Structures are given as C-alpha cells and as structure tokens.
Amino acid sequence: MHVVFASSECVPFAKTGGLADVVGALAPELVKLGYRVTVYLPFYPRVRRHIEGELRYAIRSLTIPFQYYNRFAGIVDGGVRAGVQYYFVDCPELFARPELYGEGGSDYGDNAERFGLFSRAVLEACKQLGVPQIFHVHDWQAALLPVYLRSVYAQDPVFGKTGSVLTIHNAAYQGKFPPRTTEQLLFPWDLFRMDRLEQFDRFNFLKGAMVYSDVLTTVSRKYAEEIRTPEFGENMDGVLRSRGRDLRGILNGVDYSEWSPAVDRKIAANYTAEDLAGKRACRADLLRAFGLPNLADHVPVVGIVARFATQKGFDMVAAIAEELAHRELAVVALGTGEPVYERFFKSWAWASAGKVRVEIRYDDLLAHKIEAGSDIFLMPSRYEPCGLNQIYSLKYGTVPVVRATGGLDDTIEEWNPETRTGTGFKFHGYNPYDLLAAVDRALAAFADREAWTQLMRNGMAKDYGWQGPAREYAAIYEEVAARF
C-alpha cells in the first residue's frame, strides 16, 4: 500500500515543534512494516541545507490556479532516506522566507494562499509521481487536501479509490481566515457553511479536514477524549463528537535512536538503567553550561524545555516562582515564546541568580543536556495533546512532574513510595498550589536516594517507541482502504 504524508514540518528538514518529530519518525517505521511511504513538504530555505549537490526536480512546473491568477510550483526530489521518498513543493514567492509560518510574533498574511497551494500541489504532483491509497495529512497546514479531494477533485477518476486520514496534533491551531478565502482557493461557496468549512464566519482549514477526512486521529488516547468537550475542544467539540466513531487516539512514539542516554552523542556521558554513573557526569556538564557549577549534590536540578506560553502552564509557574525559589532546588530553562513569559523567565533568573538560569532560544544540543542532566523535568501544561519531553525524560531517568492532561496523563504514573511503583508526579487541578504540592512530593522523594533510584529506573524501563503506534496507524490505513 502506498501512503502519502502531507505536512508542513518533518525532521531533519524543518521543525518548530513535535509535529516534525512525529512525521520524521513515523514514516520510516511504516516502511519497516512493508508500506511505500512518500512525504511532501514545502521547500523552505532551511530544507536546502539538507540536500547535497544541485537540486533535482521531479516535476519542473505545476500550474496551481487561484481566483484571479495562477501560481507555478516545482517538485524537488529530496531522494530516499530510510526507505522514505521525500518531495518538496517549491514556490519561492510563498515559501522562500526566514520562518515557516510568520515573523515577529505575527503570522504571514498570505498563509491561506501558501498552504492552500501546498495541498493542491501535492494532489497534482501525485498524479505524475504516484497516486496513493491513503493521504495522511497533518494539522491545519495540510488540512485542505481532504477537502479538495472530496470537492474540487471529487469527479477525478485518478483519486477514485484514495482515502484520507487527518492527524490533529493540536486542536488549538486551526488555520482561520476570512470568508473570501473560499473563492480565493477556488472552492464552491456551498462549502462555506456551518456543517462544512465555516466556523464563526471564518474559513477554517482544520474544520474542513475534520469534516471531509475518512478517519481522524489525534496523538493520545486522553486527548481524543478531551477534545470532544467544551473545555478542550477549541470550539470544535461539536464537530468532533459528530465524528466520534471515526476519531481515534494513538499515542505518539519517540525516536530512541536520537533520545536515549545509552546512545545519545550530544550528552557528556552515556548511561543505562543498569549503570547510572554517566548521569552524574551529565548533571555536572549541565550545571557548567548554565553557570551553576557549585550546586550541591543534594539539591535537585529542575529542567524545563518548552515553548514559553500559557498553554504550557507557565502562568502557574509565575504565580509560585517566589516560593519555588525558596525551595532547595535549582531551575534550568530553555525556550522561546510569548513575550510575557520570556520576560518572566528573565526576571525570575535575575531575581534568583544563584538558583534559576534561563536561555531564551531553542538549542537542540542544550535540550539534550537538560534531559540528561536534570533530576526533575517540569511540564505543568494547561493542555498537552501528547507531549514528547516527558517521554524523553523517562528514558533519561529524569523524573517528570506533570499536569494530568492529554498524553501527560497517559504516559506518567504517580509514584507510590510504599509499593515503589510509578514513574513521576501528577496534579489534576489547574491551580498553582496543586503544582507546588506535586513539586514538593518530588523533592521529598529525591531526599531518599534509594527510592529515587528505583523511581528513575521505573521510568527508564518504559518503552514508547514507534513500533506500536505504527501498527495502529497501519490498521487505520487498511480500514480506510477497505471502504473504497
């Protein structure tokens, strides 16, 4: 079976978040199961760095029509890697930009045109490069592909036996644009209705895919339940309840060839659950990197690697920052995001210079150092569709403290000091003092070195690799294909 992925991100080519990790890891895992997999991405400038030599074009020019004009896109052949064929949609006036979605805190004003073209270009390219049985589209940036498939291309015999699967990585990001987007992208106006693409008088990319895809998936069992409720559904809960039979939760896996202390080349020393000696070297290396080389061994290091945003629960962290600073701990944080939280972390680090350090940037090397060198990893998210860092942390023996939501709830089991079972610490209410209580439980456990070592090893024994999720996706592909 041939499966085509359409995504705006994929490692190693282009990444802003976990979407890229998922696409980059799932595709080769499906190849191992015997699937033919092709991945289409926009041809951003950063992609060029990953292609050696001169560019090779699989298709020199595709004509993509808009309301009053045409655009022309080429398809760059990215070659085969780990059995996966990669193609890149090249339209320089839309994709040759410094960032993927916007700059200076604002989205690019023509994102509807950019990703509308991307979806249609993938369909047109497949006519020449291979029509799949399944289109697997990821998030709003590729969400118009199933809409085109069932509307503009509905009578095209080439796609008569092609189904579609949408994966919702985060329901909060939907791609909302003015009503005129309907005609700009050459959709019939009867699609701009409440039961189709319209949502509060906006043309909604993600809603379109929710309505027109054959099966919907999201990235954890718990999040699949949560997004059917008003609290987490981002005004899409009604649509998702109506598609309940076709909505599945499949927990993301992680790539242990990149994120395992036994093989990680970006950390100071490798280690395993059986031999934890390297963990101490990694902690010392992390503390040097953050300017805290003299921190006592009995003081735990709390790591944070995140997008600094309200979604990640940093409003709660800000509310208890002073009390945390009075606890016997040190905090090392890495990330960028909303200006209010960047300012908070800077001011917190300034006020508590001996205990709090922050780097306002994303640095993959430093992210690995934090996972390996921290004792505790903090993820107090308001909501978290899946989350990957808590899974990385388990493998690195870095104990997660998380809010019990989405994939965080699915992957972390509360530590029980009596039975010595569990892998971390969870809190349920969205309240800063519930968070503080969970941190305090972690600090109390850290004081018992024997128990803490058992807690670390419990987490390191967990296996959240991609083999299981890939089989679940494969079963969905077979189910959808059987409908045609």
* Same domain? 101 vs 232: yes
365, amino acid identity: L
Task: Calculate the alpha carbon distances from 342 to 99, 306, 308 in Å.
Answer: 19, 11, 7
Q: Do 455 and 475 belong together in one domain?
A: no
Give per-residue pLDDT as tens, 434-463: 999 999 999 999 999 999 999 999 999 999
Residues 225 and 357 reside in one and the same domain: no
According to the model, what pLDDT value does residue 353 have? 83
Cis peptide before 98 (omega within 30 of 0): no
Q: Are residues 242 and 350 in the same domain?
A: no
Distance between CA atoms of residues 398 and 181, nearest Å: 47
Confidence class for position 400, pLDDT limits 50, 70, 90: very high
Are 449 and 474 part of one and the same domain?
no
79 is in which domain, residue-wise? 2-253+467-481
Residues 209 and 129 in one domain: yes
CA dihedral 10, 13, 16, 20 (to 10 degrees): 20
Angle between helices 467-481 and 18-32 (to 10 degrees): 70
In a shared domain, residues 51 and 22: yes
Give per-residue pLDDT as tens, 97-156. 999 999 987 999 999 999 999 999 999 999 999 999 999 999 999 999 999 999 999 999
The average pLDDT across 28-39 equals: 98
Residue 33 belongs to a domain = yes
pLDDT score for 105:
79
pLDDT at residue 24, as a whole number? 94
In a shared domain, residues 227 and 292: no
Q: What percent of the chain has pLDDT over 90?
A: 97
Q: Say if 10 falls within a structural domain.
A: yes
Give the CATH number for residue 129: 3.40.50.2000
> Amino acid identity, residue 229?
T
Contact between residue 203 and residue 228 where contact means Cβ atoms under 8 Å apart: no
Average pLDDT in the 280-303 region? 96
Instruction: Look at residue 262 and tell me if it is in a domain.
Output: no
Residue 181 lies in a domain: yes
Query: 84 and 14 in one domain?
Result: yes
Count up the domains in the chain and report the number: 2
Percent of the chain surpassing pLDDT 70: 100
Which residue type does 361 have?
Answer: R
User: Does residue 272 form part of some domain?
Assistant: no
CA distance 302 to 401: 10
For 41, 77, 412, the CA distances from 86, given in Å and listed in that order, are 8, 7, 35
**What token pair was written down for 31?**
């190849």
pTM of the model: 0.92
Classify residue 476: in a domain, yes or no: yes
Q: What are phi and psi of 64, to 5 degrees?
A: -115, 110
pLDDT digits (tens, 9 = 90+) for 202-226: 999 999 999 999 999 999 999 999 9
Q: Which residues contact 95 (CB under 8 A, 6 or more apart)?
A: 42, 43, 44, 89, 114
What tokens appear for 267 in the block?
């950390």
* pLDDT, tens digit, 9 for 90 and up, residues 182-195: 999 999 999 999 99
Q: What is the pLDDT of residues 41-75, one digit of tens each?
A: 999 999 999 998 999 999 999 999 999 999 999 99
Residue 448 and residue 472 in one domain: no
3-state secondary structure labels for all residues of the chain? CEEEEECCCECCCECCCHHHHHHHHHHHHHHHCCCEEEEEEECCHHHHCCCCCCCCEEEEEEEEECCCCEEEEEEEEEEEECCEEEEEEECHHHHCCCCCCEECCEECCCHHHHHHHHHHHHHHHHHHHCCCCEEEEECHHHCHHHHHHHCCCCCCHHHCCCEEEEEECCCCCCCEECCCHHHHCCCCHHHCCCCCCEECCEEEHHHHHHHHCCEEEECCHHHHHHCCCCCCCCCCHHHHHHCHHHEEECCCCCCCCCCCCCCCCCCCCCCCCCCCHHHHHHHHHHHHHCCCCCCCCCCCEEEEECCECHHHCHHHHHHCHHHHHCCCCEEEEECCECHHHHHHHHHHHHHCCCCEEEECCCCHHHHHHHHHHCCEEEECCCCCCCCCHHHHHHHCCCEEEEECCHHHHHHCCECECCCCECCEEEECCCCHHHHHHHHHHHHHHHCCHHHHHHHHHHHHCCCCCCHHHHHHHHHHHHHHHCCC
**pLDDT averaged over the chain?**
97
> Are both 143 and 201 inside the same structural domain?
yes
- What is the gyration radius of the CA atoms in the chain, in angstroms? 23
**324 and 441 housed in the same domain:** yes
Domain assignment present for residue 220? The answer is yes
pLDDT at position 465 is 95
* 289 band by pLDDT with thresholds 50, 70 and 90: very high
Average pLDDT over residues 313-332: 96
Identify whether 265 is part of a domain. no
